[in-house]
Amino acid sequence: MINRKMKIGFLALSLLAVMSLHANPKDKQQNKQDNKARKTEIKADRKFVKQEFEGAMKLYESALTKKTSDDYTALLHLKTARLYLSLLNYTASIPHYEKAMLLNEDLFAATDICNYLDALRYSGAKIEAIKIARNYAYRDVYKKDQRYLNIVHALDYEEGFMPVGVPEFIVKRLDRGNTPFSEFWIGKMENEYFYATSNSKFHDPNKKFYHRTKYYSLDENSEYSMNASVGKKKAKPLLHMVPIDLQNGPLSFSEDMNRMIVTSVSYDKGEQIDISSRGINAFKTKLYYSNYNKKRNGWSSFDLAFPQKKEASYAHPFLFDNDRFLLFSSDMPGGYGGYDIYIAEWNDELQRWGDPINLGAQVNTEGDEISPTIYDDLLIFASNGHVGFGGYDIYGIIYERGIIAKGSLVHFDYPINTVLNDFSMLKIDSNRGYIVSDRLLQHQDDIFYFYRNNMHQNSNLIYGMSEANAISTGAINLIKNGGDFNAPRHEELPKFPIYTESMLSVYFDFDNSELNYAAIDALQNFLTNTDFSRIESLIIDGYADEMGGEGYNFLLSEKRAKSVYSWLMSQGIRVKAKIAGKGQIFLTKKDLEDEGQDKLPSFYSRESQYNNGTTSVWEQKIWMNRKARRVEIKAIIK
């Protein structure tokens, strides 16, 4: 009986034979040359997966010395560049990025451009990075890519965004625990703080996992300390009850120590290392959980925390509210792009986790959001998709009773955040805590300790972790959407009276952000009847109806608000404006009744419903929800 591998090989050969029938002699010769290089590439893939990195990279370089087609050569250069970057060999990655770009610039996604710029600036080639950044600055996709914009501004402010006066916190690298490799996680188990360290050269750019991980106590006197010894024995292994293949990244314990969530790396050995618009797809991560069995005085077997899609990764678990809820990061389909933060709730009746819920557009972006934690009523996470200094930055947002408070996003000041990657914050108390950062380029990820600076006297900079509610009252720095990168990002709440009712509501067509004739007519009347000399600034909020996905509707509502603002600017209005997309809005029962059957236009007759079936029913629903598709203009008066 032919086994599966032989079947696949036979089918592949058959396909190549069919293709060769239609190929001209030149194509046949070129395919033959490419196939020789591909065999070397596959050997390199196998070595890379086995973490034989030096041998793998020699094979990739060897494959590139063979005469191959431009298309294949460009792909292999880009793949090699990405793999060198994952080994933090920035200098070696740069020539491969250059050659791939010369051969086929279309292969480069925004992520690749950002990684290329990072490789240049981390290796000291700042001038070349600025040159390349300028080539992309005016392309629409990069105007909207926040990670790219952050890197561009980081090139101008290499030393970070220094606050005016004395910084609120002092940040220092821990002398103990840090090694030449990656220390990437801080966690608490009972009353002791632990950290994770990886002795692998591989460095996942998304920070979702680490190979060859060990866990130690930060307390030098602990039996789990890296330096501890009992007689001639080494430090006691901390997680001896966890299988080695499940010790590949951040983990989380419940407060009562009855549950743990761990990270596992999976790889299909039958596949090559693929590249896509998101980067290298060699490894996937999954989350497993175990419950403590008091009767057996031990942990149960480890099971998948919940059903997880094969093509997606799940990482950065964090249990809170006495293990009732689980936060994690994933690139599963249906998110906003990259890695998003999700939450799942434990179901006592079913004894399993419920379906993951995306935390929404206030938290998640088209970039990556990782390392979520909760302290008081503040959700703390890292992102490279919000306005920041460059790389991953640390943010906080109010999270009360399961609801994200809109408009409460805070970006932590320097030196908590720098122009490099800062992530994985864990508090000790309101004045102290830990973060992970690669700000010291001669190392990989390291653990840093931060504490409040006694010299700091600015009462306007209340630290968000200890005073979550201060965000909503304006006592803490709020992040500006777009903001001025040359000045500290401080945004005060309005000090002027505000109209309690909307001055104007402008309505839009279904699934559209362009102003229609009725909207322009309403805006022109608004200009005619408004005394702008009395207005300090405008608030322009966009909304979308309940139909469609939350993420899509959030972006659509934002586009509608910007359309109104752009039209006002085109008419010579120069009043400051705060523009925001508020996403979906659900109409009240009264609103829907006001838009009832008797108000429908004639072409939505009951007869047409019977004749056209579901189409007219859908059209009726669109009509009923027209009030939701709007932009509201309010004013702050002098």
- DSSP letters, 361-398, are TTT--SS-EEEEEEETTEEEEEESSSS-SSSSEEEEEE
| C-alpha closest to that of 100 among 78, 119, 80, 85 | 78
pLDDT of residue 564: 93
Q: 184 with 436: CB under 8 angstroms?
A: yes
C-alpha distances (whole Å) from 184 to each of 88, 174, 207, 248, 317 are 15, 13, 8, 11, 13
Comparing 170 with 190, which gets the higher pLDDT? 170
What sign results for the dihedral spanned by CA atoms 11, 12, 15, 17?
negative
The residues pairing with 630 across neighbouring beta strands, listed in sequence order, are 507
pLDDT digits (tens, 9 = 90+) for 61-111: 999 998 889 999 999 999 999 999 888 899 999 999 999 999 999 889 888
- Output the six-digit token pair for 486: 């040359």
pLDDT at 274: 59
**Comparison of pLDDT for 439 and 611, the residue scoring more:** 439
pLDDT at 626: 82
Cα–Cα distance between 142 and 42 in angstroms, integer? 33
Chain position carrying tokens 């761990």: 262
**Is there a domain that residue 98 lies in?**
yes
Helix axes 70-86, 53-64, angle to 10 degrees: 160
Mean pLDDT of 411-437: 89
Q: With contact defined as beta carbons under 8 Å apart, do 378 and 445 qualify?
A: no
Domain boundary, last residue among 421, 450, 473: 473
Whether 20 shows a pLDDT value over 80: the answer reads no
pLDDT band for position 411 (50/70/90)? confident
User: Are 112 and 94 a contacting pair, CB within 8 Å?
Assistant: no
Of the chain, the percentage scoring pLDDT greater than 90 comes to 23
Q: Tell me, what CATH number does 555's domain have?
A: 3.30.1330.60
End-to-end CA separation in angstroms for the chain: 85
Instruction: Return left, alpha or beta for 123; rule: phi > 0 is left, psi -120 to 50 is alpha, else beta.
Output: alpha
What is the model's pLDDT at position 50?
80
Residue 591 confidence class, pLDDT cut points 50, 70, 90: low
Q: What is the rounded distance in angstroms from the CA atom of residue 8 to the CA atom of residue 149?
A: 45
CA distance 380 to 548: 29
**Sign of the Cα pseudo-torsion (169, 172, 177, 183, in order):** positive
Query: What tens digit of pLDDT does each residue of 486-543 get?
Result: 223 332 323 333 443 457 889 998 888 999 988 999 999 888 888 888 787 888 889 9
Of 413, 434, 18, the C-alpha closest to 187 is 434
Residue 498 neighbours by CB under 8 Å, 6+ apart: 539, 634, 635, 636, 637
The lowest-confidence range among 155-164, 232-241, 375-384 is 155-164
- Cα gap 28→12, rounded to integer Å: 16
pLDDT of 459 strictly over 60? no
Q: Per-residue pLDDT averaged across 251-261, rounded?
A: 83
- Pair 251, 341 in one domain: yes
Q: How many domains does the chain have?
A: 3
Are 112 and 242 in a shared domain?
Answer: no
| pLDDT tens per residue across span 359-410 | 998 899 988 999 999 988 899 999 998 988 888 999 999 888 778 887 788 8
Amino acid at 583: G
Q: Are residues 258 and 382 in the same domain?
A: yes
Flag whether 482 is in a domain.
no
Between 68 and 221, residue with greater pLDDT: 68
At residue 73, the 3 state secondary structure works out as: helix
| Residue 18, number of CB atoms within 10 A of its CB | 9
Last residue of a domain, one of 78, 109, 144: 144
* C-alpha–C-alpha distance, residues 82 and 78, integer Å: 6
Identify the domain containing residue 625 by its residue range. 504-637
Nearest-angstrom CA–CA distance, 469 and 198: 37
DSSP string over 250-266: --EE-TTSSEEEEEEEE
pLDDT tier, 28 (very low <50, low <70, confident <90, very high otherwise): low
CB atoms within 10 A of CB 175: 7
Does residue 256 fall inside a structural domain? yes
User: CA 550, CA 406: separation in Å to the nearest integer?
Assistant: 14
Same-domain check for residues 512 and 455: no
Q: Six-digit token pair at 393?
A: 């930055």
Q: Is 414 part of any domain?
A: yes
- Distance in angstroms (rounded) separating the CA atoms of residues 200 and 49: 12
Based on the fold, state whether residues 97 and 218 are members of the same structural domain: no
Residue 432 sits in the same domain as residue 536: no
Tokens of 291: 């419950």
Tell me the CATH number at 216.
Answer: 2.120.10
5 found inside a domain: no
**Alpha carbons 63 and 43: distance in angstroms, whole number:** 10
* Confidence tier at 427 by pLDDT (50, 70, 90): confident
**Residue 280, pLDDT above cutoff 60:** no
pLDDT score at 54: 93
Q: Quick one: tokens of 172?
A: 């220092």
- What is the spatial distance between Cα 13 and Cα 68, in angstroms, rounded to a whole number? 20
How many whole angstroms separate alpha carbon 291 and alpha carbon 427?
25
Mean pLDDT of 163-167: 60
**Mean pLDDT lowest among 211-215, 396-400, 415-419:** 211-215
> What pLDDT is recorded for position 434?
94
Count the residues in the chain.
638
CATH code assigned at 121: 1.25.40.10
Residues 440 and 573 reside in one and the same domain: no
Phi, then psi, of 30 in degrees rounded to 5: -65, -45
Q: Say yes or no: 189 and 101 in one domain.
A: no
Element (H, E) at 370: strand 369-375
- Give the other-Cβ count within 10 Å of 5's Cβ: 9
- Assess if residue 554 is contained within a domain: yes
Assigned domain for 159 exists: no
Average pLDDT over residues 185-209: 82
369 and 228 inside one domain = yes
Q: What whole-number distance in Å separates Cα of residue 261 and Cα of residue 601? A: 56
Q: What is the pLDDT of residue 502?
A: 52
Buried b (16+ CB within 10 A) or exposed e, 589-608: eeeeeebeeeeeeeebeeeb
Query: Is pLDDT of 59 > 90?
Result: yes
**Tokens 């998640």, residue?**
364
* One domain for residues 468 and 515: no
Q: Which of 80, 152, 142, 68 is nearest to 118 (CA)?
A: 152
Tell me the average pLDDT of the chain: 77
Give per-residue pLDDT as tens, 104-132.
Answer: 998 898 889 999 999 998 888 888 998 88
The answer on 234 and 130 residing in a single domain is no
The DSSP secondary structure of 565-634, one letter per residue, reads HHHHHHTT---EEEEEEEEE-PPPHHHHHHTSGGGS-GGG-HHHHHHHTHHHHHHHHHHHTGGGSEEEEE
d(CA 308, CA 26): 46
* Beta pairing partners, 276: 279
- Give the Å distances, CA to CA, from 218 to 171, 185, 214, 449, 450: 17, 12, 13, 11, 15
Task: Give 540's DSSP letter.
Answer: E
For position 582, what pLDDT does the model report? 82
Decide the pairing of beta strands 535-544 and 576-584.
parallel
Q: Is 305 left (phi over 0), alpha (psi -120 to 50) or beta?
A: alpha
57 is a domain residue: yes
User: Is a pLDDT exceeding 60 seen at residue 222?
Assistant: yes
455 and 375 in one domain?
A: yes
Q: What is the pLDDT of residue 401?
A: 75
